[in-house]
Amino acid sequence: MADQPEKTLRLLADHDELALTWFRYSGGERGPELHIHKRHTDAFYVLSGEVSFALGPDGAQEVRGQAGAFVAAPARVVHTFANETSEEATFLNIHAPNMGFADMLRARRDGRTEDAERFDQFPPPPDGGRPVSEATVSLPRQGERIRNLVVKVSREEIDGLEIDCGPGYGPDPHNHELEVDSFYILDGELDFTLGDQIVRAGPGTFVSAPPGAVHGFKNPRPGRARFLNFHTPAGGFVASIRKE
């Protein structure tokens, strides 16, 4: 939706339950001023380079996230982000639920300022917002490990995991009644079943199955595949795999 020398923004998913964008920030590029969202979680997964996150009143807590870092600011947690290095950085930005984020991006692109200002984003409140301790910070190689899965976040509005799998791994075609089931491939390849089609996809591919959509995936190759999986809302996904 935006491709400029200093940054690129691509909208990958626009569901009521989820807006997901891919960002490229050149060195020194900064995000918005410190802010909160009142009705949704704003989350980030760093793909390459380093992204700095400021959390809490006055941005007093800083987190420097390199590839594999995940940071989530739930409703009313003050936050912002920037690339404070001289090198390029890429990252995913997840709004769960969407709360009009995708519509706001389109309004900004089209110069519809009044429409853009309706988005669920506000200056830090006088009381400082919710405690920073309620944010999720999972740095590279951190997270709860469950077999070949690493849980990066588990909240009511989003479950997010890194999955590393060998040949033949993956569930049969299925659907979810209420959840959007989304995937971003980091390494290797996966065969996605989407309805009556099978699509082979490699690194950088994003796939999102809305509620009711039949989908499944398998690792078709001899080597391993590594990918992100987001369930929005969580729907008890992480809780279910803990019981297996």
d(CA 13, CA 230): 12
The tokens for 173 are 């075609």
Place of tokens 């398998």: 218
Per-run averaged pLDDT (10 residues), the chain, 244 residues: 85 98 98 98 98 95 98 98 98 97 94 90 96 97 96 97 97 96 98 94 98 96 96 96 90
The whole-number pLDDT of residue 1 equals: 63
DSSP of 222-238, one letter per residue? SS-EEEEEEEES-TTHH
Largest CA distance in the chain: 56
Strands 136-138 and 50-55: unpaired
The whole-number pLDDT of residue 244 equals: 83
d(CA 184, CA 51): 19
Q: Which long-range contacts (CB under 8 A, 24 or more apart) does 171-177 make?
A: 171/216, 171/217, 172/216, 173/214, 173/215, 173/216, 174/214, 174/215, 174/216, 175/209, 175/211, 175/212, 175/213, 175/214, 175/215, 176/209, 176/211, 176/212, 176/231, 176/235, 177/211, 177/212
Which phi and psi (to 5°) does residue 120 adopt?
Answer: -75, 70
Q: What is the pTM of this model?
A: 0.96
Cβ contact 5:26 at 8 Å:
yes
Amino acid at 43: A
Convert 31-41 to b/e letters by CB count within 10 Å (16 or more is b). Answer: beebbbbeebb
Please name every residue paired with 79 in a beta bridge, in sequence order, or none if there are none. 35, 55
